[in-house]
Amino acid sequence: MIKKLNMLTSAVLLIAILTAGLASFQAISRFNDQNNRAYLISAGQMISQQLADRIPADRAVARTLEAFSHNQKTLRATIVDTRGNVVFDNEADSSQMDNHLFRAEIALAIKGEGPGFAIRRSNTLDTEMIYVAQLVPELDLVVRTSMPVYTSQGPLRDMLLAIGLVLLLALAVLILISALSTRWITRPLQALNAAARAISTGDYTVRLHQLDQDDNEAAVLGEAFNSMADRLQQTITDLEERNERLAVIFENMSDPLLVVNETGAVILLNSRAKAVFGRDLDPARVTYPLVLLTHSEATDALVRQAIEGGQTIRRELPLQTVTGAAVFLVIASPVRTADDPGAILTLHDITEMKRMQKLRSDFVANVTHELKTPLTSIRGFVETLRAGAARKPDVADRFLAFIDIEAERLHKLIQDILILSEIEEIHADPHSQTFDLQTLVDAVAVLLDDAASAAGISIVVEENDSPLTVSANPDRIKQVLINLVDNAIKYNQPGGKVYIQTGRQDNGLVAISVRDTGVGIEPEHQARIFERFYRVDKSRSRDLGGTGLGLSIVKHIAQLYDGYATVESKPGQGSDFQVFLKI
Ligand code: ADP
């Protein structure tokens, strides 16, 4: 822009200077022309005067030339009679010269309308000449004075050269001044230009400060620019913040999240997705197909379906993760990223939920089976009684006793199921109170003493020096003790012993240990005996009135109090069940 302005002002200045030069050239040459004419007229008049005084032509001319010798101009004088014959010429042989009657200046002079003027090429001297002819009426002669045009223009040329130089100098100075003033005037524009460039490179903090207060347009422009920059900066900051928030949300989603394009390439994924599939991808640098990540064609199909159908699709899919096989609820929703169709995939791990579902349905199946067994027995006995056994009192009594045992088993089973489902549903026991655990242990020992004695087993409570105060629901802890001691009696042999020991550990947990000298448990069963309905010896357990839920109840109560249950056992030597509780 400055360049253009400079060029424009230079052109204007050049035209102005040329016009000024031309005008002065014309004025000077007009002045010079008049000067020369006046010179030639006065020289002619001097010659005429002398001719009139009867001084011979050659002398008159010589004198005149002498008189005008201070002037460097060369002068030619020609004297012609009114018939056009050349009488005298100081520079040529008059006898050789042709008739001059029709020379324009001479013709004009003869007409008697004052001096005749002409400028033309002289045939005699072969040069451009200026002629002035004057009539000397009393002698019927015409005195013509002339001089070469170039001679007359010599000083003029010098003068014009000087003017030209001055004008050139003026032009240079003016161009310089105009360039400087252009720069000065366009200063706000330059500042604006620099600021706009800075913004285009991402520096949104730039503002125009030195606004020319006197220059209204520049000030208004600067203010408009600054307010535009303010809004731009605000918008960019808002967008950046929003982007950051979205990125944080995206990154910290607990579920894997992926954006896939139409060709099935991953274009965005969060850290959870990278962790789950064990691939530290940067989709901005490497195109990575979804199928290589999930190892499942089904995810690709889901993406295609979502894009083509234009709606969200959910499907449960088994996928391979770094930690092994897992089941995901995959939700594919169509999205458009930069005008390209794609899909956003959310993967929700439902492996645990599925496992729980299976456990529940297995439990229902187990419960149904467990309930069916005593019921079938009861119905069998009842039918036998109806068929006639009822009429035989001793047989009837036996059958009724069997029915009683089965009914009791049923009752116990239902009771255990209820306890188990109750514990599973709560996460903290609401009926917590402070009590002495030792006292509770003693009470349980007394409660089960009859059963132990009947089996020929003795219960040994290893007493503590001081009471062990705990805070829990005593009914739950009692349940733990009863289940463990009952098992220690059941899976024991006559003469066997059951040791009960309690204590608080350094880590603050209360440990309850129930050790027996019974049958023990094979290592392969030890890990599974805490599962519901798991029994090492099913018929033995049934015969002993077990439900297969006792240890499962113990484990769940331990978990309710942020603890756990373990077993150490040697087949044929006995078992040591330990429960650790935060009570
Ligand atoms: P059950 O009602 O069958 O006793 P539990 O859940 O209490 O059910 O126990 C599960 C299984 O663990 C039992 O069937 C038994 O095989 C084994 N078991 C439990 N306690 C002992 C123990 N003290 N000694 C040996 N085996 C035991």
d(CA 430, CA 310): 50
Say how many Å lie between the CA of residue 551 and the centre of ligand 1. 7
Which amino acid residue places its CA nearest to atom 25 of ligand 1? 520
% of the chain with per-residue pLDDT over 70:
96
Atom of ligand 1 nearest to the CA of 518: 24
Split at pLDDT 50, 70, 90, the class of 174 is confident
Give the pLDDT of residue 250.
87
Q: Which atom from ligand 1 is nearest to the alpha carbon of 530? A: 6
- Residue of minimum CA distance from atom 3 in ligand 1: 548
**How close is the Cα of 541 to the center of ligand 1, in Å?**
7
CA angle 535-541-543, nearest 5°? Answer: 155
Mean pLDDT of 545-570: 94
Has residue 301 got a pLDDT over 70? Answer: yes
Burial of residue 77, with CB atoms counted within 10 A of its CB: 0-12 exposed, 13-18 middle, 19 or more buried: buried
Q: Whose CA is nearest to atom 4 of ligand 1?
A: 546
- Is the per-residue pLDDT at 264 higher than 60? yes
Q: What are the phi and psi torsion angles at 513 (to 5°)?
A: -120, 130
How many whole angstroms separate alpha carbon 229 and alpha carbon 270?
Answer: 34
| Cα 398 from Cα 402, distance rounded (Å) | 6
Interval 82-107 mean pLDDT: 91
Residue nearest atom 19 of ligand 1, based on CA coordinates: 487
Determine the distance separating the centroid of ligand 1 and the alpha carbon of 548, expressed in angstroms.
7
Confidence band of 73 (pLDDT split at 50, 70, 90): low
Give the residue whose CA is nearest to atom 2 of ligand 1.
546
558 CA distance to ligand 1 middle (Å): 17
E strands in 137-234: 141-148
541 in Cβ contact with 373 (< 8 Å): no
* Structural domains in the chain plus CATH codes: 2-156 (3.30.450.20), 253-348 (3.30.450.20), 355-425 (1.10.287.130), 433-581 (3.30.565.10)
HSE-CB at 552 with a 13 A cutoff on CA atoms is 21
Whole-number pLDDT of residue 181:
85
Residues 349 and 345: their CA atoms lie apart, in Å, by: 13
Q: What does pTM read for this prediction?
A: 0.54
DSSP string, 247-279: HHHHHH-SS-EEEEETTSEEEEE-HHHHHHHT-
pLDDT band at 70 (very low <50, low <70, confident <90, very high): low
- Partnered with residue 472 across adjacent β-strands are 433
Write the residue with the smallest CA distance to atom 18 of ligand 1: 487
For residue 535, the ligand 1 atom closest to its alpha carbon is 14
pLDDT of residue 156: 66
The answer to whether the beta carbons of residues 124 and 144 sit under 8 Å apart is: no
| Residue 356 or 484, more confident | 484
Say if residues 266 and 283 touch (Cβ distance below 8 Å).
yes
Position 491 scores a pLDDT of 94
> Pocket residues for ligand 1 (CB within 6 Å)?
487-488, 491, 516, 518-521, 529, 534-537, 541, 546-552, 575
Q: Which amino acid residue places its CA nearest to atom 11 of ligand 1?
A: 535
487 CA → ligand 1 middle, Å? 6
| Cα 253 to Cα 349: distance, rounded to the nearest angstrom | 13
Per DSSP, the three-state class of 569 is strand
Residue with tokens 């015969």: 543
- Joined tokens for residue 264: 């099935």
pLDDT band at 185 (very low <50, low <70, confident <90, very high): confident
401 C-alpha to center of ligand 1: Å? 25
Q: What is the pLDDT of residues 133-160, one digit of tens each?
A: 999 988 899 999 998 876 545 666 777 7
Mean pLDDT, residues 121-142: 88
**Cα dihedral value 473, 477, 482, 488, nearest 10:** 170
CA of 535 to the centre of ligand 1 (A): 6
Model confidence at 334, pLDDT cuts 50, 70, 90, reads very high
pLDDT greater than 70 at residue 562: yes
Residue 168, pLDDT > 60, answer: yes
| Residue from 485, 497, 535, 568 to probe ligand 1 pocket by mutation (most atoms less than 8 Å from CB) | 535
pLDDT for 46 = 92
Q: Which atom of ligand 1 is nearest to the CA of 516?
A: 23
Atom of ligand 1 nearest to the CA of 514: 23
The pLDDT value recorded for residue 71 is: 61
Q: Whose CA is nearest to atom 16 of ligand 1?
A: 536
Mean pLDDT of 459-475: 92
**Token pair belonging to 452:** 């132990």
Ligand 1: residue whose CA is nearest its atom 7? 550
Query: Which among 413, 417, 491, 497 is the best mutation to test ligand 1's pocket, defined by most ligand atoms within 8 Å of the CB?
Result: 491
Q: Helices 351-386 and 393-425 meet at what angle, rounded to 10?
A: 160
Q: What is the mean pLDDT of the segment spanning 467-495?
A: 95
Question: What is the average pLDDT score of the chain?
Answer: 89
Q: CA 487, 493, 494 angle in degrees (round to 5)?
A: 120
Q: How far apart are CA 78 and CA 289, in angstroms?
A: 112
Lowest mean pLDDT among 30-34, 377-381, 421-425: 30-34
Mean pLDDT of 94-108: 91
Pairing state between β 497-504 and 458-462:
parallel
412 CA → ligand 1 middle, Å:
15
User: How many A from CA of 459 to the centre of ligand 1?
Assistant: 18
More confident residue, 260 or 210: 260
How far, in Å, from the CA of 537 to the mean position of ligand 1? 8
Ligand 1 geometric centre to CA of 490 (Å)? 8
- Ligand 1 test: best mutation among 551, 554, 579, most atoms within 8 Å of CB? 551
Block residue for tokens 């731009």: 232
pLDDT in tens, 411-452: 999 999 999 988 988 888 888 999 999 999 999 999 999 999
CA–centroid distance, 379 to ligand 1, in Å, is 28
Q: Are 132 and 108 in contact (CB under 8 A)?
A: no
CA 32 / ligand 1 centre spacing (Å): 143
| Residue of minimum CA distance from atom 13 in ligand 1 | 535
Closest CA to 334 of 313, 358, 364, 357: 313
Higher pLDDT, 112 or 411: 411
Ligand 1 centre to CA of 529 (Å) is 7
Q: What is the DSSP string of 372-440?
A: HHHHHHHHHHHHHHHTTGGGSHHHHHHHHHHHHHHHHHHHHHHHHHHHHHHHHH-SS-SS-EEEEHHHH
Distance 235 CA to ligand 1 centre (A): 70
In this predicted structure, the answer to whether residue 537 has a pLDDT above a threshold of 60 is yes
Instruction: Determine the Cα–Cα distance for residues 76 and 128; give it in Å rounded to an integer.
Output: 13
What is the reported pLDDT for 436? 95
pLDDT over 90 at 502, yes or no: yes
Which stretch of 157-161, 190-194, 238-242, 569-573 has the lowest confidence by average pLDDT? 157-161
Atom of ligand 1 nearest to the CA of 541: 3
Residue 569: exposed, middle, or buried by beta-carbon count in 10 A (0-12, 13-18, 19+)?
Answer: buried
| Ligand 1 pocket: which of 413, 419, 529, 569 to mutate (most atoms within 8 A of CB) | 529
CA distance 506 to 392: 65
Share of the chain above pLDDT 90, in %: 55
Q: Please tell me what DSSP assigns to residue 201.
A: T
92: nearest Cα among 121, 119, 122, 72: 122
Q: What are phi and psi of 114, to 5 degrees?
A: 90, -175
Count of CA atoms in the C-beta half-sphere (13 A) of 347: 29
Mean pLDDT of 487-491: 95
Query: What phi, psi does 261 have (nearest 5°)?
Result: -90, -175
What six digits make up the tokens of 280?
A: 């530290």
